[in-house]
Amino acid sequence: MCGIVGYCGVKQASEVLLEGLKRLEYRGYDSAGICVGEGGCLTTVKCKGKIRELRSIVPVDLKGTYGIGHTRWATHGEVNDQNAHPHSDCSGNISIVHNGIIENYSVLKEKLQSDGHVFKSDTDSEVIAHLVSSLYTGDLEKAVKLAAPLLKGTYGIACVHADEPGVIIGARNGSPLVLGIGNDEMFLASDVTAMMSYTRQAVYLEDGEIVRIDAHGYTTSDVTDRAITKKIEHIDWELQEIEKGGFPTYMEKEIFEQPLSVERAMKGRLDKEIATGHLGGLNMTSSELLNVERVKLVATGTSYHAAMVAAYLLETVARIPSTAELSSEVRYKNPVVERNALHFVISQSGETADTLYAMRELQRKGARVLGICNVVGSTIPRESDGGVYIHSGPEIAVASTKAFTSQLTALYLFTLLMARMRHLSFEAGSRILEAIESLPGLIAQVLSNADAIKTVAHKYCAHGNFLFLGRGLNYPVALEGALKLKEISYIHAEGYSAAEIKHGPIALINEETPSMFLVPDDRLRDKVITSMKEVKARKGKIIALAVNGHGDIDEIADDIIYVPKANDILYPFLMVVPLQLFAYYCARKLGRDVDQPRNLAKSVTVE
């Protein structure tokens, strides 16, 4: 949420900043700006709109070898030119970009205004520029260190001063900040994608840390001036992974990557000899795992739907009582941490504020919390007590797709591990293991049906409302299908357990409201078919996601999207992929910006 980039070096900073912002645009895209320094003078260019709009107004001859940039997802103040970052103090000598929320900004603003500071925007962020200015006595780093303890809330900040050419000061509290080390150049950004064209050497800042960079190096310290030595980490992602690679959109690329990303999630984690999952990062001994009497999975959005599938599976297959909860609710309910409960937080980005704060609250109460994350080096994996990286590669489209199937893969392996340590026989474990291993091939089969899915999507995309209905393991998948459709096509869609519609939602059924039924070949199939008949009787249009080779659905459904027959537990994977494609093709047909849908941002780092 909001992207920050900073550069000090020998290149023209405006080009590096614009390129970095383009790569960060998925974090927020309502307005953007840069501030470039040259010879004791700062020049700011900013506007409402996307990076392409910003690029069109940045003078080609804008000189300066250091600067800061920002792409915004508005929290305080409407989307307009003035509220775009960077923000400056009254003199224009200090310029800042900020990611996060300053909770006490109105108190600080009042005080600064009474001291004569004049504000130009409605943002909480501008207060930082004026505060730093009020504390500046010739040393920007010192002023930021004095300002930081006065700011309540979350921030990742980059700050420059006209009188200190070539220097950027960064500060982190709750919003990610990473610095990149190049040859005679240094970078600062809210995530590594902004700097990957230039360097693979990264240093991740922790909360409370302040960094000073210039073209030749960096120093890290805290607000008390205590020097902090940081580890330099290598960024493993390849540049082509953050490019579209011939696809028209990132979302399509990421959907079609799933055979590969699921394979990566299971690589080296299938132990055939003892028919179990092998997850090295859990940091738990066998006896600790055996003592687990309850599993609680905490997440939000798509990751929450993965948590729901996993809770169902852990309970039915591993026979461990398990629940999924929304992280935003966990944090504020004064959660009970039971003895012998194991907690998971699941987050693609590893930065989602609701999930991060829920994790910290659980840890404060003594819980052991493991993370299931994608972004290596992000905050949740660094602060959790262990966990599993899903290795999906960068997920750039705002709508999460490949991360979901990779999260499921990791959670299925965990379920297998827990089940095998308990009652599950070698033979039954082997069957599950083989099923998991067959996933990449089965997902590829589903993807080969993309044209048929597109035809169905084009037939239905003019409808304004949809219901998505599934049961058992596929009930969360119905929720996920509805979420995908609404977030990228702006069509209203709701997901329910197919059994629940008769308790209310069936009142919505008419010829205008199609229902997408998930009908896997499992033990609840007949029950789902009964719900389909109830909808049919009320003249509701039905699209069925069903297994090839059963004539009975033909009579009820208006359209059928076929998926291959598989082991029951695999249907969440085989059902979600067509739903991702259905949402995608509807959105494209309606002319939506699928990668950057309105009002959204990829990584939600504010509450």
Given the rule CB under 6 A, which residues bind ligand M6R?
300-303, 347-349, 352, 355, 398-400, 483, 487, 603-604
C-alpha span between 186 and 198 (Å, rounded): 9
DSSP-derived 3-state class of residue 50:
coil
C-alpha span between 577 and 441 (Å, rounded): 13
C-alpha closest to that of 67 among 52, 46, 49: 46
- Report angle CA 146, 148, 152 to the nearest 5 degrees: 135
Active-site choice (2, 8, 159, 586) = 2
Question: What is the dihedral sign for C-alpha 212, 214, 219, 220?
Answer: positive
Nearer to ligand M6R, 27 or 471 (CB): 27
Name the residue number minimizing CB distance to ligand M6R. Answer: 301
To ligand M6R, the closest distance from the beta carbon of 404 in angstroms equals 8
Nearer to ligand M6R, 354 or 522 (CB): 354
Nearer to ligand M6R, 173 or 352 (CB): 352
Structure-token pair, residue 601: 């941002």
C-alpha span between 382 and 368 (Å, rounded): 14
Nearer to ligand M6R, 54 or 485 (CB): 485
To ligand M6R, the closest distance from the beta carbon of 341 in angstroms equals 21
C-alpha span between 253 and 580 (Å, rounded): 12
C-alpha span between 536 and 521 (Å, rounded): 20
To ligand M6R, the closest distance from the beta carbon of 484 in angstroms equals 6
Residue 373 is a catalytic residue: no
To ligand M6R, the closest distance from the beta carbon of 345 in angstroms equals 9
- Look at the chain and count its residues: 607
To ligand M6R, the closest distance from the beta carbon of 437 in angstroms equals 25
Nearer to ligand M6R, 48 or 484 (CB): 484
Nearer to ligand M6R, 257 or 487 (CB): 487
To ligand M6R, the closest distance from the beta carbon of 300 in angstroms equals 5
C-alpha span between 264 and 278 (Å, rounded): 14
Structure-token pair, residue 489: 């096509």
3-state DSSP helix/strand/coil % of the chain, to nearest 5: 40, 25, 35
Nearer to ligand M6R, 134 or 379 (CB): 379
> With 0-12 CB in 10 A as exposed, 13-18 as middle and 19+ as buried, what is 551?
exposed
Residue 47 is a catalytic residue: no
To ligand M6R, the closest distance from the beta carbon of 68 in angstroms equals 25
To ligand M6R, the closest distance from the beta carbon of 370 in angstroms equals 15
At residue 580, what is the residue type?
Q
DSSP-derived 3-state class of residue 467:
strand
Nearer to ligand M6R, 292 or 370 (CB): 370
Nearer to ligand M6R, 255 or 545 (CB): 255
C-alpha span between 371 and 581 (Å, rounded): 28
Structure-token pair, residue 179: 């610095």
Q: How far apart are the first and last CA of the chain?
A: 11
C-alpha span between 409 and 270 (Å, rounded): 11
Structure-token pair, residue 92: 């224009």
Own/partner contacts of 497-502, CB < 8 Å, gap of 24 or more, are 497/469, 497/470, 497/471, 498/469, 498/470, 498/471, 498/527, 498/528, 498/531, 498/532, 499/471, 499/527, 499/531, 501/467, 501/469, 501/531, 501/534, 501/535, 502/531, 502/534
C-alpha span between 413 and 271 (Å, rounded): 10
Q: Does residue 196 contact residue 189 with C-beta atoms inside 8 Å?
A: no
To ligand M6R, the closest distance from the beta carbon of 296 in angstroms equals 16
* Residues identified as active-site: 2, 602
